[in-house]
Chains A and B, each alone.
Chain A
Amino acid sequence: MNWTRFLEAPSSFCICRVDFFSDCVYYVSDAEMNRHLCAWLFRHSSLNGARQCHLHPQSHQFTQIHLDTRLWIFRQNRTPILHHLLNKNCPRRYCHQSKMLWKHKALQKYMEDLNKEYRTLDECLQRMSVNEGDRKSLNRRHAELAPLAAIYQEIQEAEQAIEELDSMCKSLNKQDEKQLQELALEERQTIAQKINMLYSELFQSLVPKEKYDKNDVILEVTSGRTTGGDICQQFTREIFDMYQNYSSYKNWKFELLNYTPADYGGLHHAAARISGDSVYKHLKYEGGIHRVQRIPEVGLSSRMQRIHTGTMSVIVLPQPDEVDVKVDPKDLRIDTFRAKGAGGQHVNTTDSAVRLVHIPTGLVVECQQERSQIKNKEIALRVLRARLYQQIIEKDKCQQQSTRKLQVGTRAQSERIRTYNFTQDRVTDHRIAYEVRDIKVI
């Protein structure tokens, strides 16, 4: 048995150490190691998307781990208590049992405090002696804490029930009533299971959600510049098709905003709006530069049978709700093909391209996808809002000095995030040094 790689996940997650082999696909020697691996892979299943990891562990391990993997994704700067807990208890290994975590005093105290806060907020809001501005923020906090408090309540009740059952069991023992005892034990079992479930729910709600996770996204792909041949464009097309298939696999709505093919059959750049459940959460790590290395089978580059390298970039922009970004019509300058001349009855063109220029920031958005100029204008406005939103997010991030290494939006990144190597049949994600074999299946 050979530990040849020691891996650390990016600092946005808790330090998670997983040992795995670089050569073969996840052979593990013992159950414990297996659990580490499954947990880590499961957590990253959102990164993989349509790609499936080939694993040869015992499959039943997965179901157990499911509950525990939630522990892995706490943010360092948001929940110091939990992080501290995790580090303190298990420096080299992590406590997998959520129950063990629950029993920890610090967590209990934290929950008590939250509960108290919830109750005081309740009273406060009922008294109605608070002014409007405060009320809104109090309301929000109240809404946030409500599910936590509810789960906490349930856990308390369940634990109480178990205590009662325990005492009943003891008293029954004395009287030797086997049947009743069995019933009591059964009930205790079910309640214990319920408690476990509640713990996991609690942890799930405690984990702070990423701010923009539930948003829809605008996904843009652009092929890189090539020294010759069209490998980039072909690759861009395949990747775009892949995202399209992925979103139908996930039952998301995929709305084409822009599709500009390249001269010889590939794709130059394209944009789509993907809406559905937690789209941003799943796609946010896709942003950045993707590199491909392969011997192309189709297109111009296939004449010479040697390895070509190409790049393409993916940008994922979370889409704001209407209220998040306000665009003042006075700040916009709209250019259209009908703008020349008198327009109206004087002109009959089918060129419905619209270009919006946002004067204060200098952002320019074009759209010519639809037949109707009005629709094009709406689409362009939507994209403009998303880009403005992106700018606001970037500003926020800089201000907060976040340590997360999300590589969204800035195509200026010369760092490759992912390499697809077809000849060696592997996909490497450079940020987490994660490799997957068997590209054909992917």
Chain B
Amino acid sequence: MPQTWSATGLQSLRRGASLRPRHPFQSLRPVLWTQPLTPRQLQCVQELSSRRLQRMPVQYILGEWDFQGLSLKMVPPVFIPRPETEELVEWVLEEVAQSPCAMGAQGGPLILEVGCGSGAIALSLLSQLPQSRVIAVDKGEAAICLTQENAQRLQLLDRIQIVPLDVTLEGSWAHLLTWGPMDLVVSNPPYIFHRDMEQLAPEIRSYEDPLALDGGEEGMDIITYILALAPWLLKDSGSIFLEVDPRHPELVGSWLQSRPDLSLDLVAVRRDFCGRSRFLHIRRSGAQRGCPADAWPWPLPARVPG
């Protein structure tokens, strides 16, 4: 085994092996370091290691990973939550705590998450804002199922609506209005520039859904759709929180200026713990647009898809 490891040059294997405190076959408990492994344990370690040798991400091998203190199930090809996104959730929580008007009639804020993936953002917001409700949408079927499963594991199903939805399809989001205007829109949309996709590590390229990563030529495709539909769905002074590529704050700023009809302002840019501009706070200014049914930019089809 050591020979194959060095052949692939995977330094992170050893580290990855020790980061499994809850894994049934290994633990940080010192006593296990001195006892020899049973044949069954050895077999399992062998199996897991071979998967790692195929560059499968550790999170998929273990089948679970932590996010904001919650343990979430991970299944390929659903996108694995990144640690930076935890800071996005922190920022949203801070803003909610500061603005009392973020509370809807029923108590907590009503939040829309676009591209929920494994449900990381939605579920951590729900667990830390006990009065909140979340509408989580995603275009991938696997993501919808996984979010459902994670919500069930964490017993948060009663406050979440999981809707299969592709926001780029015309008029697809219209029926979201039945739940009322939202206080917040949160998203970690696919934001990788298309030309950067090839340079991703094999773990990401081979196992994670490329649709969850590719944001088009300038990584802005999904972002622009979200920004375009938000004014229809948000309350007055409602907010949008996005995780983006470090090159996006400028691009988003100038895009918003080219679309004054949206009445959206880029209010703040926040850095992640590595010091890169990672998060955007955009606020809707101006009164709620008139009855949306009259003024939708796209003609409504006879049957709303999804």
Interface of A toward B, CB cutoff 8 Å: 237, 241, 256, 259, 261, 265, 267, 334, 336, 338-339, 342-352, 368, 371-374, 377
Selecting from B144-152, B199-207, B258-266, the interface stretch reads B199-207
- Tell me whether B84 is interfacial, beta carbon within 8 Å: yes
Q: How far is the CB of A377 from chain B (nearest CB, A)?
A: 6
Interface of B toward A, CB cutoff 8 Å: 12, 15-16, 19, 21, 28, 30, 33-34, 57-59, 65-66, 69, 79-80, 82-84, 86-87, 188, 190-192, 196, 200-201, 203-204, 208, 213, 243, 245-246, 272-276, 278
**List of A residues within 8 angstroms of B16 by Cβ:** 350
Known: A344-B276, A349-B12, A372-B86. 19 other contacts (CB 8 A): A241-B30, A259-B28, A336-B274, A339-B274, A342-B245, A343-B82, A343-B274, A343-B278, A344-B245, A345-B82, A345-B192, A348-B201, A350-B19, A350-B58, A350-B59, A351-B12, A351-B15, A371-B21, A374-B83
Given A334-B273, A342-B196, A374-B83, A348–B57 Cβ distance below 8 Å?
Answer: yes
**List of A residues within 8 angstroms of B79 by Cβ:** 345
**List of B residues within 8 angstroms of A345 by Cβ:** 79, 82, 188, 190-192, 213, 245
Given A334-B274, A373-B273, A342–B66 Cβ distance below 8 Å?
Answer: no
- The answer for the CA separation of A372 and B65 in the assembled complex, in Å, is 10
**List of A residues within 8 angstroms of B243 by Cβ:** 344
**List of B residues within 8 angstroms of A237 by Cβ:** 30
- The answer for the CA separation of A163 and B15 in the assembled complex, in Å, is 76
Given A237-B30, A338-B274, A348–B82 Cβ distance below 8 Å?
Answer: yes
- The answer for the CA separation of A29 and B245 in the assembled complex, in Å, is 82
Q: Which of A334, A348, A349, A374 has the largest number of chain B CB atoms within 10 A?
A: A348
Determine whether the beta carbon of A350 is less than 8 Å from that of B204. no
- The answer for the CA separation of A374 and B245 in the assembled complex, in Å, is 20
- Partner of A338 from the list B83, B188, B196 (CB cut-off 8 Å) is B83
Q: How far is the CB of B242 from chain A (nearest CB, A)?
A: 12
Q: Which residue of chain B is the closest to A298 with respect to CB atoms?
A: B34
**List of A residues within 8 angstroms of B65 by Cβ:** 371
- The answer for the CA separation of A334 and B204 in the assembled complex, in Å, is 25
- Partner of A344 from the list B12, B30, B272 (CB cut-off 8 Å) is B272
- The answer for the CA separation of A352 and B12 in the assembled complex, in Å, is 11
Q: Which residue of chain B is the closest to A335 with respect to CB atoms?
A: B274
Q: How far is the CB of A236 from chain B (nearest CB, A)?
A: 11
**List of B residues within 8 angstroms of A344 by Cβ:** 82, 84, 191, 243, 245-246, 272, 276, 278
- Partner of B33 from the list A256, A261, A374 (CB cut-off 8 Å) is A261
Determine whether the beta carbon of A374 is less than 8 Å from that of B203. no
A-B contact pairs, 29 of them (CB 8 A): A237-B30, A259-B28, A261-B33, A265-B33, A265-B34, A334-B275, A339-B274, A342-B196, A342-B245, A342-B276, A343-B246, A344-B82, A344-B84, A344-B191, A344-B246, A344-B276, A344-B278, A346-B196, A347-B201, A348-B203, A348-B204, A350-B15, A350-B16, A351-B12, A352-B19, A368-B15, A372-B83, A374-B87, A377-B273
Determine whether the beta carbon of B83 is less than 8 Å from that of A352. yes
- The answer for the CA separation of A261 and B190 in the assembled complex, in Å, is 40
**List of B residues within 8 angstroms of A343 by Cβ:** 82, 84, 246, 272, 274, 276, 278
**List of B residues within 8 angstroms of A352 by Cβ:** 19, 83
- The answer for the CA separation of A267 and B30 in the assembled complex, in Å, is 9
Determine whether the beta carbon of B83 is less than 8 Å from that of A373. yes
- The answer for the CA separation of A372 and B21 in the assembled complex, in Å, is 12
- The answer for the CA separation of A170 and B236 in the assembled complex, in Å, is 90
Q: How far is the CB of B276 from chain A (nearest CB, A)?
A: 6
**List of A residues within 8 angstroms of B28 by Cβ:** 256, 259
Q: Which residue of chain B is the closest to A373 with respect to CB atoms?
A: B83
Q: How far is the CB of A113 from chain B (nearest CB, A)?
A: 51
**List of B residues within 8 angstroms of A339 by Cβ:** 274-275
Determine whether the beta carbon of B30 is less than 8 Å from that of A259. yes
Given A342-B196, A342-B245, A345-B191, A336–B30 Cβ distance below 8 Å?
Answer: no
Q: How far is the CB of B184 from chain A (nearest CB, A)?
A: 21
- The answer for the CA separation of A261 and B83 in the assembled complex, in Å, is 27
**List of A residues within 8 angstroms of B80 by Cβ:** 348
Q: How far is the CB of B270 from chain A (nearest CB, A)?
A: 13
- The answer for the CA separation of A349 and B55 in the assembled complex, in Å, is 11
Determine whether the beta carbon of A336 is less than 8 Å from that of B273. yes
Q: How far is the CB of A192 from chain B (nearest CB, A)?
A: 55
Q: How far is the CB of A235 from chain B (nearest CB, A)?
A: 14
Q: Which residue of chain A is the closest to B219 with respect to CB atoms?
A: A345
**List of B residues within 8 angstroms of A336 by Cβ:** 273-274
Q: Which residue of chain B is the closest to A337 with respect to CB atoms?
A: B12
- The answer for the CA separation of A2 and B218 in the assembled complex, in Å, is 91
- The answer for the CA separation of A334 and B188 in the assembled complex, in Å, is 24
Q: Which of A256, A334, A372 has the largest number of chain B CB atoms within 10 A?
A: A372
**List of A residues within 8 angstroms of B272 by Cβ:** 343-344
**List of A residues within 8 angstroms of B19 by Cβ:** 350, 352, 371
- The answer for the CA separation of A344 and B83 in the assembled complex, in Å, is 8
**List of A residues within 8 angstroms of B208 by Cβ:** 348
**List of A residues within 8 angstroms of B84 by Cβ:** 338, 343-344
Q: Which residue of chain B is the closest to A339 with respect to CB atoms?
A: B274
Q: Which residue of chain A is the closest to B244 with respect to CB atoms?
A: A344
Q: Which residue of chain B is the closest to A340 with respect to CB atoms?
A: B274
Q: How far is the CB of B166 from chain A (nearest CB, A)?
A: 19
Q: How far is the CB of A344 from chain B (nearest CB, A)?
A: 5
Q: Which residue of chain A is the closest to B11 with respect to CB atoms?
A: A351
**List of A residues within 8 angstroms of B12 by Cβ:** 349-351
- The answer for the CA separation of A371 and B16 in the assembled complex, in Å, is 10
- The answer for the CA separation of A377 and B83 in the assembled complex, in Å, is 12
**List of B residues within 8 angstroms of A349 by Cβ:** 12
Q: Which residue of chain A is the closest to B80 with respect to CB atoms?
A: A348
- The answer for the CA separation of A431 and B201 in the assembled complex, in Å, is 57
Q: How far is the CB of A342 from chain B (nearest CB, A)?
A: 6
**List of A residues within 8 angstroms of B246 by Cβ:** 342-344
Q: Which residue of chain B is the closest to A374 with respect to CB atoms?
A: B86
Q: How far is the CB of A221 from chain B (nearest CB, A)?
A: 13
Determine whether the beta carbon of B30 is less than 8 Å from that of A346. no
Given A344-B84, A351-B15, A374–B201 Cβ distance below 8 Å?
Answer: no
Given A241-B30, A342-B246, A352-B83, A371–B66 Cβ distance below 8 Å?
Answer: yes
Q: How far is the CB of A191 from chain B (nearest CB, A)?
A: 56
- The answer for the CA separation of A344 and B190 in the assembled complex, in Å, is 11
Q: Which residue of chain A is the closest to B212 with respect to CB atoms?
A: A345
Q: How far is the CB of A296 from chain B (nearest CB, A)?
A: 14
